[in-house]
Amino acid sequence: MKNNIVLIGFMGTGKSSVGRYVAKKSAGKFIELDNEIVQRAGMSIPAIFAEKGEPFFRAMEASLIAEYSEQEDLIISTGGGAVLNPLNVENLQKKGLLICLTANPEIILDRVEKDNNRPLLAVEDRLGKIRELLAQRAPFYQVADYTIDTSELTVEEIGEHILGYSRGWADGKNANCSGRK
């Protein structure tokens, strides 16, 4: 039985805010993987990337995913690059319903603009970089059981949508649904 809800998707699509909302409205415990990495490393994400390198960050990410994938009743918000590693996908799928949040590039830019916490977007042409990464990653995000475009929705609307979908899924209504929208 899958009873974790796992939010995947690009930076700035609302995974953390939505995950927090879904956890508050359900019996689930909220796990923000980036936050866990920061806590355990005792460093910010830009500092980890700069001082230890991206492979070190990805190894920590993979190890936390393996750890939390064994637990239940979690709402897990993943970093945007987590699903690039097939082992992470395999682990997250064990007990988790994978929900992908998307948004259009301009909205993503608007949401991440004032945030300097994302080393991959620390470039001159942020919109160009967002478009490039979105194109590269599109096939990886297709592992989702269900995808929601968050561009025009509030956190509450997205959260309720996910809660409805996961209840339906648990009731078996979505049992034979490939789910991709």
Contact residues for ligand S3P (CB under 6 A)? 11, 15, 34, 45, 79-81, 118-120
Question: Among residues 97 and 112, whose Cβ is nearest to ligand S3P?
Answer: 112
Question: Among residues 97 and 134, whose Cβ is nearest to ligand S3P?
Answer: 134
Measured from the CB of residue 15, what is the shortest distance to ligand S3P in angstroms?
A: 6
Closest C-alpha to 159, from 53, 1, 57, 30: 30
Rounded to whole angstroms, the Cα distance separating 84 from 108 reads: 19
Cβ atoms of 45 and 119 closer than 8 Å? yes
Closest C-alpha to 121, from 129, 49, 69: 129
Question: Among residues 119 and 179, whose Cβ is nearest to ligand S3P?
Answer: 119
Question: What contacts 144, CB < 8 A, 6 or more positions away?
Answer: 8, 9, 98, 99, 100, 179, 180
With CB atoms as reference, the residue minimizing the distance to ligand S3P is: 79
Measured from the CB of residue 168, what is the shortest distance to ligand S3P in angstroms?
A: 26
Measured from the CB of residue 38, what is the shortest distance to ligand S3P in angstroms?
A: 10
Measured from the CB of residue 94, what is the shortest distance to ligand S3P in angstroms?
A: 21
Question: Among residues 77 and 166, whose Cβ is nearest to ligand S3P?
Answer: 77
Question: Among residues 79 and 159, whose Cβ is nearest to ligand S3P?
Answer: 79
Measured from the CB of residue 13, what is the shortest distance to ligand S3P in angstroms?
A: 8
Closest C-alpha to 113, from 132, 131, 127: 127
Structure tokens at 83: 């699903």
